[in-house]
Amino acid sequence: MIKIGIVSFAHMHAYSYAQSLIDLPGVEFSGVWDADAARGEEAGRQYDALFYRKLDDLLATNIDGVIVCSENVKHREHVEAAAAAGKWILCEKPLATTIADAKAMIAACKKAKVGLGTAFPCRYVERLQDMKARLDKGEIGELIAAACTNNGQFPGGWFADPKQSGGGAVMDHTVHIADVMRWLTGKEFTKVYCTKGKLLHNDIKTDDVGSLHLEMEGGLKLSHVASWNRPPSFATWGDVTMDLAGTKGSMFVDAFNEKVDVYSNEAGKTEWAFWGANADLGLVSDFMRSIREQNQPSITGEDGLQTLKLTIAAEKSVKAGKMVRV
């Protein structure tokens, strides 16, 4: 039996990861720590897991690993503590808010000889896996350009505080697309031009929309829109779309368009009932595999570092008003 703890429910993805732990055979969701005791206690009751008032007390138990879902700026502190306790770690994206912190986290896990994964569940979306298989077969020839979006709802709370989040929609919603493109192509980003601003939420301290123009190794061109532009009445949090152009054809994927439209009087709005595979379950399943086999998760801390480098470069581009190197 693999025993897992969750470090903070500050990020909403923690709830999906917790349910995934419960749904997986041979896995026990053993404990919760949260700096917000009320939130942590409620999560513990909801998922029948013990709540610990001190992180050290959770890490001192016989759990095999932790999933870190604290505020972005706290990732380094919590990952380093878990590594020192000898626990395998899956960390919510972005891996950190600075390159220095990300490198320190990777180094700490390497020194402690524990696995470090970055939470990029989009790699477990079946439509994107099919896209990768078709690209690998050369069905559209050489990939020359791509247009992508990652639009979502404004998460609220600490996400709008750059001291805790590290940035707004550009930070939050660029890393997913960046990781998928690196996975699809095996290439790194080389240049980025970014503009960003506020579209709908003028009272927040961060951007809620960004437009990015990027280049990857080999001259591949990419455009990307990252935003928190979905209203509260929207059926779900947002989208991931990818429109790829190759020398022999093209492909388009709306990654989460596996749904049934439900017109609910009870909810007072249209809802989407999803029927596709659970990407978060795929992510957590791979983390369990890495613990069983005592090796790195498929999506590593280094993957998290590479996407962070892109978002940091995007911020530099905004300030410089020109394209910059990653």
pLDDT surpasses 90 at 47: yes
pLDDT, position 152: 94
Mean per-residue pLDDT, 59-66:
98
pLDDT, position 270: 83
Closest CA relative to residue 175, chosen from 140, 220, 224: 224
CB 280 within 8 A of CB 169: no
pLDDT surpasses 80 at 263: yes
pLDDT surpasses 90 at 232: no
In this prediction, residue 66 has a pLDDT band, given cuts at 50, 70 and 90, of very high
Query: Which ranges of the chain would DSSP assign to H, the alpha helix?
Result: 13-23, 37-47, 55-59, 75-84, 99-112, 126-136, 162-165, 169-185, 279-293, 301-320
Mean per-residue pLDDT, 174-203:
97
Mean per-residue pLDDT, 293-321:
98
In this prediction, residue 54 has a pLDDT band, given cuts at 50, 70 and 90, of very high
End-to-end CA distance of the chain: 42
Domains of the chain: 2-119 (3.40.50.720), 123-277+308-325 (3.30.360.10)
pLDDT, position 264: 82
pLDDT surpasses 80 at 126: yes
Mean per-residue pLDDT, 42-53:
98
Q: Which residue has the higher pLDDT, 219 or 276?
A: 219
Predicted model pTM: 0.95
pLDDT surpasses 80 at 121: yes
Mean per-residue pLDDT, 182-195:
98
230 φ, ψ (degrees, to nearest 5): -80, 130
Average predicted confidence (pLDDT) for the chain:
96
Q: Which residue has the higher pLDDT, 272 or 323?
A: 323
Contacts of 60 (CB under 8 A, 6+ apart): 85
Contacts of 32 (CB under 8 A, 6+ apart): 5, 6, 9, 40, 43, 44, 47, 49, 50, 51, 52, 58
Rounded Cα–Cα distance for residues 190 and 216 (Å): 5
Closest CA relative to residue 203, chosen from 228, 226, 224, 225: 228
pLDDT, position 289: 98
